[in-house]
Structure 1
Amino acid sequence: MQASEFAIALRPQILKWIALTGIAGAVGQGLHALAVPAGLFLGPMLVAITFGVCGAQMRLHRHIFRFGQGCVGLLVAHSVTWSVLISLAHSWHIMLLATLVTVVLSAVVGLGTVRYGGIPGSTAAWGTAPGAASAMVSMAEEYGADSRVVATMQYVRVVCVVMIGSLVSHLLGAAAIPGEIAPSDGPLYGTDLSNVSLSLAVILVGVSAGTKMPAGALLMPLLIGGVLQLMGVLDITMPAWLLAIAYGAIGCYIGLRFDRVTVRYVFKHLPAMILGAVILIMLCACCAWLLAYATGTDFLSMYLATSPGGLDAMAIIAVETHADVGMVLAMQTLRLFGVILTGAFFARQIIRLTQN
């Protein structure tokens, strides 16, 4: 292909990316101006879903998505203080109980999806597992499940979780503050060039170091940034525009996974997937209400902490709604590792029970 022919073929793709970027940014800023929780994330995700389903055939590079996760991880690290760690140490038993309940509930919903939704046992087991979607899809492929259906079930649940989570936050009056992306107790939006450079270096190093672990692009910058902040070495500083881009990158990456081929392939099972996701969210919400009542914790924080994924989306909503970020992140992370360790076991049990 000659250079002129390549340029002509490339032009429509460039125009689609320009359109996606412009519309996603405008919708995200609009929702943020209306004080919609996680509007900078939710808006681009909904726009990207529309593009994907309409056949745009666009894929955001995974490195951009991982960089966005790294920015969110460092943003959450800004909330890690000694007082937060001490309070978390006193609640470890509550977190362990909530993690166990959520994993068991997901297995029950997976079993119901197999019996009444017509989805194969191994696929339903991984599709309803409340862990990082990318990690669950990867593990599902290793165990012979249909990764297309698993990916669709995971991202359908992520969309349901984000939209219902934003709605619950809004109904509870925990709206984002226009003009701010996150609460801040320190110089998060400072202009000190050395702190900005060091913060960006932490993101890049953390994302690179986390390539071999589930949700590592989010967790490693969080751990590195949190440790450096606790040691007094780093004052986490990130420009607001960078966080807006990070939110948009994560939202677009998730949304663009919904293409027409995938939707057509799973269309007849889509109602069962959505119903299963909503039932799981409602069961986790009931669990959150009981735990909040028993421990005296605010319901919103407990709801976001027990909500079935994903880690990055719940972190964004928690930060924007002034929820207990430490508890939300700790419980979400604990559940992620719990699902990774027990996922194969529950998949085998669901297959065994549905074959009888």
Structure 2
Amino acid sequence: MSKVIGWALLIAVTALVTTVLQALAVPAALLLGPLLAAIGVAAIRPGLAMPHWTVTVGQAAVGCVIAGAMADGIGPGVAARWPLFAGIAASTILLSGGIGYTLARMRVVPGTVAVWGSMPGGAAAMVLMAEADGADARLVAVMVYTRVLVVTMSATALAALLRADPTSAARVVPAAIVLPTLAVAVAGAALAMVIRWPAGTLIVTMGLGLAVEAMGLGRLAVPMPATVAAFALIGWRIGLSFTRDARGAALRMLPRVALASIALVALCGGIALILHAVFGIDPLTAWLATSPGGLESVAIIATSLPVDAPFIMAAQTARFAAVMLIGPAIATFLARRARQRTAAATR
């Protein structure tokens, strides 16, 4: 009976927090709401835990969401401008890696947590990839979602400064799209169980989704109720794992992590200024294209403002693909270097 009350409380608090965040126009509300609610409920009712199958379901759904978002940025213009997108990806990854390395050297957070938490990409995807790489997903989530908030607030402020009026982009998912999306999610989850890759369900499902889109076999779109449920599963799983010790560590590192997030966003803003000055890209489009915030959040922001959404999604897609491919190697290398330099300095 106690657990039933706990789950009911979690659902109610999640609905309340998510509604408040959405009312405040926070793009990552569907991820942040369940995560924050779970942290709060775990503090007053410890003992709730998510079954392992929720990881598979959440990853499969997020993989389909990301595949659909990435497909929107893939078109004929991407191939012609690939050097520009590659440059944006490389520069933002280098800046992010530098911030992560600095945090690791200063011992603000453990090495792999610092690097993964600083990596640009989809918020949920980065947390899942970090967990698969052996990093503490709870602390990575603190870093990632702090940065998402900074990016969201800065984009909102810039849009107001440039007087960019929000646009309406409500999207209804046709029933004909639901079945192909469900098939990709199920096939991706099944194949990932055979391959046994780290965060395999996410990667395989995303790859299958992109292949389906590229071959013209269908469009992918996850219905809003399924998206809400999937993000809730991921947020709850991370939030409920915040023990008292983990919550204390998160609070202690939050001020410095927030400063690091602001610094990273400002540095990426410098790249946006170069894009505007050299290539004539409008400031808001350049800002969102170089933004280190989550792919999902940037996609939502891009659809609600008068910007070049295909350019933004192409740039974000190129960087996200690069992080998915080389992220684990970068995290391992930088974390090892930070440990070596720290050990040498203390001798």
TM-score by length of 2: 0.76
Deviation at 1:315, TM superposition (A): 5.3
Alignment equivalent of 2:333, drawn from 320, 341, 345: 345
Alignment equivalent of 2:60, drawn from 70, 76, 100: 70
1:41, 1:119 → 2: CA distance?
23
Farther-moved stretch of structure 1 (18-27 vs 280-289): 280-289
Deviation at 1:159, TM superposition (A): 1.5
Q: Quick one: structure 1 residues 116 and 32, their matched pair in 2 at CA, closer, same or farther if it must change by over 3 Å?
A: closer
2:234, 2:175 → 1: CA distance?
25
Aligned-pair identity in percent equals 27
2:165, 2:229 → 1: CA distance?
23
Q: Equivalent residue of 2:220, what SS? A: coil
Residue 222 in structure 1 maps to residue 212 in structure 2: no
2:40, 2:53 → 1: CA distance?
22
* Paired position in structure 2 for 1:20: 10
2:16, 2:33 → 1: CA distance?
8
The gaps in structure 1 that reach 5 residues or longer are 1-10, 142-146
The amino acid that maps onto 2:88 is A
Q: Equivalent residue of 2:217, what SS? A: coil
1:250, 1:91 → 2: CA distance?
35
Residue 207 in structure 1 maps to residue 189 in structure 2: yes
Residue 155 in structure 1 maps to residue 137 in structure 2: no
Deviation at 1:317, TM superposition (A): 5.3
* Paired position in structure 2 for 1:244: 228
Q: Is the 8 A contact 1:206 1:224 kept in 2?
A: yes
1:80-136: per-residue Cα shift (whole Å, max 9, x none)?
Answer: 669833222223223332333233323432443345456566764565455723433
Q: How does 1:110-121 map to 2 (within 5 A)?
A: 110-117=100-107
* Paired position in structure 2 for 1:7: none
Deviation at 1:202, TM superposition (A): 0.9
1:259, 1:126 → 2: CA distance?
21
Q: How does 1:75-154 map to 2 (within 5 A)?
A: 75-79=65-69, 84-117=74-107, 124-125=114-115, 128-130=118-120, 132-139=126-133, 141=134, 147-148=135-136, 151-154=137-140
The amino acid that maps onto 1:201 is A
Q: Equivalent residue of 1:331, what SS? A: helix
The amino acid that maps onto 1:135 is M
Q: Is the 8 A contact 1:74 1:236 kept in 2?
A: yes
Farther-moved stretch of structure 1 (303-312 vs 271-280): 303-312
1:68-88: per-residue Cα shift (whole Å, max 9, x none)?
Answer: 343333234345669833222
The gaps in structure 2 that reach 5 residues or longer are none
TM-score by length of 1: 0.74
Q: Equivalent residue of 2:175, what SS? A: coil
2:288, 2:20 → 1: CA distance?
24
1:132-183: per-residue Cα shift (whole Å, max 9, x none)?
Answer: 23433443x4xxxxx54xx4442121121222233234332575858x3xx5
Residue 48 in structure 1 maps to residue 38 in structure 2: yes
Q: Quick one: structure 1 residues 90 and 67, their matched pair in 2 at CA, closer, same or farther if it must change by over 3 Å?
A: farther
* Paired position in structure 2 for 1:259: 243
Q: Equivalent residue of 1:228, what SS? A: helix
Q: Quick one: structure 1 residues 303 and 67, their matched pair in 2 at CA, closer, same or farther if it must change by over 3 Å?
A: farther
2:153, 2:282 → 1: CA distance?
16
Q: Is the 8 A contact 2:265 2:292 kept in 1?
A: yes
Q: Quick one: structure 1 residues 320 and 216, their matched pair in 2 at CA, closer, same or farther if it must change by over 3 Å?
A: farther
The amino acid that maps onto 2:85 is M
Q: Is the 8 A contact 2:63 2:203 kept in 1?
A: yes
Q: How does 1:273-312 map to 2 (within 5 A)?
A: 273-300=257-284, 302-308=286-292, 310=294
Q: Is the 8 A contact 1:161 1:309 kept in 2?
A: yes
Farther-moved stretch of structure 1 (15-24 vs 99-108): 99-108
CA RMSD of aligned residues (A): 3.6
Q: Equivalent residue of 1:84, what SS? A: coil
Q: Is the 8 A contact 1:74 1:203 kept in 2?
A: yes
* Paired position in structure 2 for 1:5: none
Q: Is the 8 A contact 2:173 2:223 kept in 1?
A: yes
Q: Is the 8 A contact 1:76 1:315 kept in 2?
A: no
Aligned positions, number = 329
Deviation at 1:263, TM superposition (A): 2.2
The amino acid that maps onto 2:145 is V
1:317, 1:252 → 2: CA distance?
24
Q: How does 1:175-186 map to 2 (within 5 A)?
A: 177=168, 180=170, 183=171
Q: Is the 8 A contact 1:36 1:170 kept in 2?
A: no
Residue 332 in structure 1 maps to residue 320 in structure 2: yes
Q: Is the 8 A contact 1:304 1:318 kept in 2?
A: yes
2:166, 2:151 → 1: CA distance?
12
